[in-house]
Amino acid sequence: MMLGRGAFLIGLVLLGQPSRLEAQQTVRPGRVGILAQDLQPGLLETMQDEFRKLGYVEGKTLAIELRSAAGHGDRLPALARELLDAKVDVMVAVNTPAARAAKNATTTVPVIIMRVADPVRSGLVASLARPGANITGISFMPDALGPKGVELMREIMPGLARMAALYQADNPGAVLIVDEVVRRGNRLGLTFVRTPVQRPDDYAAAFEAAAAAGAQALFVMDDGTITAHRREILDLAAGRTLPVVSIYTDFARAGALLSYGPNLAAVYRRGADYADKLLKGAPPDSLPVEQPNLFELVLNLRTAKTLGLVIPPSVLARADDVIQ
């Protein structure tokens, strides 16, 4: 069968064009960089799962670059530059020191903040509604986190008069939350002793200071670095029969008496949602900084029994999860 000249020319044009499959294979995957002071339990896995639900295929349409400072905040600026050298399209900064390092490293690559206590007071964004520049994400609410946990502790221990507050000294977000905890605690008639730490070998001295001040319970502002050392902290608290209240469920599940704070899985998933929008071209300043809307109270009854404490029914009824 003879082919006409027109058909022959069309065939040449088609042969000269890549197939749809070849075109898909040459598309550069979106690159998301994660910058963390310390790797948080469930962070990477939860975000990966949310990306899959959004239709991304890691290794094909998505590449994730993870950089953790392993608790050494001074490494964050260099790690932020590493992510920029890796040509990430979006950077996710987990906690206030990481967010500051990202802000200082770039004014062009979109930055998503997570686990940041107050990005306005921390100088990261102009406002929640209009963050400006290249930063957006999810903020936490210091006036609703630690103080609520302390109020619950007071309900469990009506005679509670003195507490210690353990936190990472070089995390400005942690300092903001502790300031609010102390202010609200003072309204309840509680006296606080601050026990800031910078290195792992500071914990023993912090507990000595808490004991010397007559602390009857311990509020832990568990940022990434503190969480990484939660086992040591909880062992020290158990040795002094100190009930522990924290913000994140990692501590309650590991042995703290209770935790009250945002559902971190929901926050991490929302971070992936933000990354999806930014990868698809949304300007960062078009996305307001959100606040978490899902909180959870976790009670550890095993710890309560060990400490000889009885959780009042009024507190128990409000728990989202109870560890028997």
Domains of the chain and any CATH numbers = 29-140+264-294 (3.40.50.2300), 146-261+296-323 (3.40.50.2300)
The reported pTM is 0.82
pLDDT in tens, 103-133: 999 999 999 999 888 899 889 999 999 998 9
- Which residues are 27's β-sheet partners? none
pLDDT grade, residue 8 (50/70/90)?
very low
**What average pLDDT does this structure show over 92-96?**
93
Q: Tokens for 323?
A: 């560890």
| CA–CA–CA angle 166, 167, 173 (5° rounding) | 145
Helix (H/G/I), strand (E/B), else coil: 107: coil
Annotate 36-98 with DSSP letters as a single string.
ESSPPTTHHHHHHHHHHHTT--BTTTEEEEEEE-TT-GGGHHHHHHHHHHTT-SEEEEESHHH
> Alpha helix (H) ranges present in 188-324?
203-212, 224-228, 230-239, 249-254, 264-279, 301-307, 313-316
Cβ proximity of 76 and 104 under 8 Å = no
Q: How far apart are CA 202 and CA 205, in angstroms?
A: 5
pLDDT in tens, 268-288: 999 999 999 999 999 999 999
Cβ proximity of 51 and 81 under 8 Å = no
- Which helix (H) or strand (E) element contains residue 242? none
Q: At what angle do helices 146-156 and 172-187 cross, to 10 degrees?
A: 40
146-150, 154-158, 194-198, 254-258: lowest mean pLDDT where? 146-150
Q: How far is CA 14 from CA 20, 27, 171, in A?
A: 12, 20, 59
Q: How far apart are CA 65 and CA 88, in angstroms?
A: 8
* Residue 295 pLDDT exceeds 70: yes
* Residue 21 pLDDT exceeds 50: no
Q: How far apart are CA 252 and CA 260, in angstroms?
A: 9
* Residue 143 pLDDT exceeds 70: no
Cβ proximity of 319 and 298 under 8 Å = yes
What is the residue whose two structure tokens read 């896995």? 45
Q: Nearest-CA neighbor of 160 among 302, 324, 309, 298?
A: 309
Q: How far apart are CA 17 and CA 216, in angstroms?
A: 74
- Which residues are 245's β-sheet partners? 219, 258
pLDDT in tens, 48-58: 999 999 999 99
Among residues of the chain, what percentage have pLDDT more than 70? 90
User: What is the model's pLDDT at position 7?
Assistant: 41
pLDDT grade, residue 26 (50/70/90)?
low
Q: How far is CA 274 from CA 9, 109, 122, 279, in A?
A: 47, 14, 21, 9
User: What is the model's pLDDT at position 142?
Assistant: 59
What is the rounded average pLDDT for all residues in the chain?
A: 89
User: What is the model's pLDDT at position 28?
Assistant: 80
Q: How far apart are CA 231 and CA 236, in angstroms?
A: 9
Q: How far is CA 273 from the centre of its chain?
A: 15
* Residue 44 pLDDT exceeds 70: yes
Q: Nearest-CA neighbor of 44 among 114, 139, 138?
A: 114
| CA–CA–CA angle 313, 251, 77 (5° rounding) | 145
Core vs surface per residue 3-32: b (16+ CB within 10 A) or e: eeeeeeeeeeeeeeeeeeeeeeeeeebbbb
